[in-house]
Chain A
Amino acid sequence: MDVKEALKIFALNHGDDALVLSHRITEWCGHGPELEEDIALSNVGLDLLGQAQSLLNYAGELGGEGKNADDLAYRRREREFTSLLLVEQPNGNYANTIARQFFYDTFHYYFLQGLKNSQDEFLKGFAEKSIKEVAYHLRHSSKWVIIFGDGTDESHQKIQEAVEQIWKYTGEMFEVSEAYSTLQKANILPNLDEVKSNYQTKISEVLAEAKLKIPEGTFMSTGGRNGIHTENLGYMLTEMQYLVRTYPDANWD
């Protein structure tokens, strides 16, 4: 696989992650557990939307068909989306949302840290900007994991269940695809083993401080990067793409 094709796939993969997760976050807007928290979560959503836009525009440029981020977000079908299964999982209760966010943020943070050394100028710049945002996301979600774990009996139970439920979707982040290994060889993407080892250290620390058990399950679901999703994604896209699909010739800016 050539580097350009691999880059396009990578930009789509991570752009889709940010897009899908930001969409889930917007579903909380106006319904958060406290006003202050509603605002904090919206900040995370805004950062991710901005990142999705950059990466999808980049994917569009590399694709050479004149597509921009909106074309890719609003005019692809469910099987064409390459986001992780993790990020499309429904919001559930606030513990489910926080657990999903925590695992993603931890991965995202250490991944971007590696990406800052990328040989690709765009990705390097992207990582330098985004890591500041994601450092804050991680601080926010890990704080809540600890609060829930070490808060009340009810919150402890809820976050423990949430961690158990989402666990099987956390393996996919570390899969090395053909595109990924092409880019890693070209020093464009970080070594995923290193990212994973930082990730595991952080997860263990936070879960220990939260007095939570690390799930023992080893089975990991996979498929998102190949467009094989859970049933959740189709509904999300139905909603997200409704206007663009209903009025295909209209311009919405």
Chain B
Amino acid sequence: MSQNEKTNWPLWEVFIQSKPGLSHKHVGSIHAADAQSAIENARDVYTRRSEGTSIWVVPANAISASSPDDEGEFFEPANDKVYRHPTFYNIPKGVKYL
């Protein structure tokens, strides 16, 4: 472990916005010594084919994830709230672009 501490660059999670207007999406991770290098490395690794317009990097150890055991209390309440989904609403026939 001490060996790793010495030479291993920290891990960063990478989020890419593929087009303006869309949200950033997790694409993977990279290693880099600092945030600026992390952004540059992410640009070189994950956007070689112009896949992105904006990049976020987050230290992997700064991300807290929900635990699958909590899945019930965490996500099921939202499953009930169908009014948040557009398909909940009836739209009269012939009405477009909504």
Contacts and interface: CB of A to CB of B under 8 A. Distances in A.
Chains A and B directly touch (beta carbon < 8 Å): yes
A40 B40 contact: yes
A39 B40 CA distance: 11
A2 interface: no
Chain A interface helix/strand/loop/mixed:
helix
Interface in A135-166: 139-140, 143, 147
B31 interface: yes
Interface in B28-86: 30-33, 36-37, 40-41, 44-45, 48
Contacts of B45: 36, 39
Nearest to B34: A147
A32 B37 CA distance: 16
A140 B44 CA distance: 11
A34 interface: yes
Contact of A143 (B30, B37, B48): B37
Interface string A31-62: 00010100110010000000000000000000
A50 to B, nearest CB: 14
A78 B37 CA distance: 38
Interface string A1-42: 000000000000000000000000000000000101001100
A140 B40 CA distance: 9
A92 B37 CA distance: 23
A39 B44 contact: yes
Given A34-B31, A36-B41, 10 more contacts: A34-B9, A36-B31, A36-B32, A36-B37, A39-B45, A40-B40, A43-B44, A139-B40, A140-B40, A143-B36
